[in-house]
Amino acid sequence: MKRILSGVQPSGKPHIGNYLGAMRQHIEMQKNYECFLFIADLHALTTVREPQTLRELSIELALDYLALGLDPKKVTYFRQSDLPEHAELCWILGCITPFSVLERGHAWKDAREKQTKDPTVGLFNYPVLMAADILLYKPDLVPVGQDQKQHVEIARDIGQKFNRRFGEVFKIPEPYIRKDVATVMGTDGRKMSKSYGNTIEIFAPEKELKKQIMGIVTDSTPVEDPKDPTSCTVFNIFKYFADKKEEKELEEKYKKGGCGYGDSKIKLYEKILTYFEEPRKKRIELSMNLDYVEEVLKKGAESARAVAADTLKQVKDKVGIPTT
């Protein structure tokens, strides 16, 4: 059975970009792959500064995954910070990673260009920690959205460099990116992102969800005029959730005219509510049993450790660090 590994940062509430671009694939793949999935809380430390917020967002993310159908009997689901192996391997890999590679990292470049703050070493080193996350588990595939492609490529380069220099330890994985959902757009037409404030959250309360959807930016074509569906964010998001027939119907309405953007937003709101109806119910039930969630994470960490500790031992042997 092939193995996958992926993580999501608990840096905010997961949105439909996270879901369509990554989480949905993770849950589907549990049927046919050996899955290692985790809460990337060490990565979230680069942006979240409130300890209580980080704790809550981490548990909430676990709740979200479980509600969406992650089966902890099939998946090794864990919290990154429960395994010190990640940070330890990160240091070792950092010692063979050229500075210039990280300078070209897009998250780093963005932070530099915005110059809104003094970017941290953690942000600079972010791709090395991600390389450690990936390489520790020797996965075949890393299912992510397009924005993480560069990070997976950096992980591959670091892994290859290590293998060449010290001898084979790491498997070199492929990114797995579904073209149709590689970059889901947000309510303002840019990439949907927690940091742009343009998200539609999977589990937002109904009122909030409606507000997010009604806030989608549209042009000023009058209600009665025909509209171009392909350039409309509402339509483009609707397509992700609708079947072919529903998509065609809305497309016709746009082209015919007489359908305002307000109407299509309501359609989208109803569609998303229906789509996530079961997970929404399940999430409420699960949220009443947080001990169960902690138990899942504890067991997940134990299983993950068996793999991570073994890889780290091989790495230490190769580089000349004692293993106990």
**Residue ranges in contact with ligand TYM by CB under 6 A:** 5-9, 17-18, 21-22, 40, 43, 130, 133-134, 142, 144-145, 147-148, 151, 181, 183-184, 191-193
CB 69 within 8 A of CB 279: yes
| 116 vs 93: CA distance, rounded Å | 29
Kindly state the smallest distance separating residue 64's Cβ from ligand TYM, in Å: 12
Q: What residue number has its CB nearest to ligand TYM? A: 21
Least distance between ligand TYM and beta carbon 223 (Å): 29
Q: Would you say 43 or 253 has its CB closer to ligand TYM? A: 43
Calculate ∠ Cα 76-78-83, nearest 5°. Answer: 115
Q: Quick check: helix, strand or coil at residue 50?
A: coil
Q: Given the complex with ligand TYM, which of 198 and 264 has the nearer CB atom?
A: 198
- Please choose, from the candidates 321, 298, 320, the residue with its C-alpha nearest in 3D space to the C-alpha of residue 83: 298
Q: Which is nearer to ligand TYM, 152 or 232 (CB)?
A: 152
Least distance in angstroms from the C-beta of 267 to ligand TYM: 21
- Give the integer Cα–Cα distance in Å for 99 and 266: 49
Both tokens of 226, joined, read 């025909």
In angstroms, what is the minimal distance from the CB of 153 to ligand TYM? 12
Cβ of 222: how many Cβ atoms within 10 Å?
8
Q: How far is the CB of 38 from ligand TYM (least distance, A)?
A: 8
Report how far Cα 321 is from the mean position of its chain's Cα atoms. Answer: 33
For ligand TYM, the closer of residues 47 and 303 by Cβ is 47
Q: Which is nearer to ligand TYM, 138 or 151 (CB)?
A: 151
297: its two tokens: 């994470």
Choice between 212 and 253, CB closer to ligand TYM: 212
Q: How far is the CB of 1 from ligand TYM (least distance, A)?
A: 19
Token readout for 280 is: 């929404």
- Tally of CB atoms within 10 A around 84: 12
